[in-house]
Amino acid sequence: MLEKQQKAAEYLAQGEFDLAIALSHQIIEVKPGFIPAYQTIGNAWEIQGNLEAALSWYTQALKIQPNMAELYKIIGNLYSRKKQWEEAITCYKKALQLEPTLTEVYEKLGYIFQQRYLENLQAALSNYRQAIEYSPGDESNYHKILEIQPYNPEICLVLANILFSKNQLGSAIIFYKIALIAEPENPEIHFNLGKILVQQGYIEEAISEYKLALEVEKNNPDIYLQLGIVLAKKERWLEAITSYRRTIEINPKSDFAHNYLGEALTKIGELQEGIYMFQQAINLNPTSPLFQKNLGDALAKQGKIDQASVAYSRAIELG
């Protein structure tokens, strides 16, 4: 019997599965309680990927020898491969009851608990994201995702944008900065941080954020425009003018860029070009009372009172 079992094991090792199974059947016919033969058949089916057939044979062996820790471990491994976690846990625990020193079983249990935990997390994340799709303005679901994935830059950025839109500036800054940990060169984050810092009065810090954004998005007219505005707040007129000119190069139809450039030019005494820029802004947006007023101010400084009066009158009509 042992010789036949040895031969069956050799067939199994050589990949002669049909021969290994056939010989094991012969052994079982003669000696139905011979456990190694059942294991050989189970192994042969398992190696071939037929887990159900393998499980059937291992289970038959277990009925014959119900106190064999190794069989519980083998069956647990099969259930684990099938991701039937509860069944695998039951088998592994039974194996440990019978043989507490099976170190590898503890490791396999740890793996299962980790996998089950990860699956639960993925399910939770999927549900939270579904909730966000239906209610994107609800902050709570973003916070729940961040409890699972604290540094998720996508979620941090969206949540920060929501908080920014609700004027919760301090909280928005926190989540923008968390997002920057994962995406330090994200121009949108730097741009939005710049806008918040402007509102909070931190102009120099805002200038730095806009410049960081421009290092990545070198041709974004909106960033150049906002940078020009904050430079003007610090009366850094030449830098502001450069930034406004770059805005217009990229987006010639920006009425505000023409207007702000006109304001900066008049501040440094370049009245003629300033007037031209105000006129360009008006051509792009004829209904703006601000552009008409600024044109009137520049014309008045040139001593062109009649023309200034026309601009002021137009501003009053539009205003």
Query: Which domain range does residue 72 map to?
Result: 2-118
**Whose CA is closest to 274, among 62, 282, 225?**
282
**What pLDDT, in 10s, does the model give residues 44-57?**
898 898 989 888 98
Could you tell me which residue, 279 or 119, shows the higher pLDDT?
Answer: 279
Largest alpha-carbon pair distance within the chain? 121
> Would the pLDDT of 287 be above 90?
yes
Check residue 3 and give its pLDDT: 78
In this structure, is residue 19 part of a structural domain?
Answer: yes
In this structure, is residue 251 part of a structural domain?
Answer: no
In this structure, is residue 212 part of a structural domain?
Answer: no
- List C-alpha distances in Å: 111 to 78, 107, 117, 165: 14, 6, 10, 43
Residue 159, helix vs strand vs coil: helix
In this structure, is residue 152 part of a structural domain?
Answer: no
What CATH number should be reported for the domain holding residue 46? Answer: 1.25.40.10
50's CB contacts (< 8 A; 6+ apart) are: none
Question: Contact 256/232 with Cβ under 8 angstroms?
Answer: no
In this structure, is residue 44 part of a structural domain?
Answer: yes
Number of domains present in the structure of the chain: 1
In this structure, is residue 50 part of a structural domain?
Answer: yes
> Would the pLDDT of 141 be above 70?
yes
Check residue 116 and give its pLDDT: 87
In this structure, is residue 256 part of a structural domain?
Answer: no
**pTM of the prediction?**
0.65
Count CB-CB contacts under 10 A for residue 269. Answer: 9
**What pLDDT, in 10s, does the model give residues 104-115?**
888 888 888 888
DSSP designation for 65? S
**What pLDDT, in 10s, does the model give residues 241-268?**
999 999 999 999 999 999 999 999 999 9
In this structure, is residue 275 part of a structural domain?
Answer: no
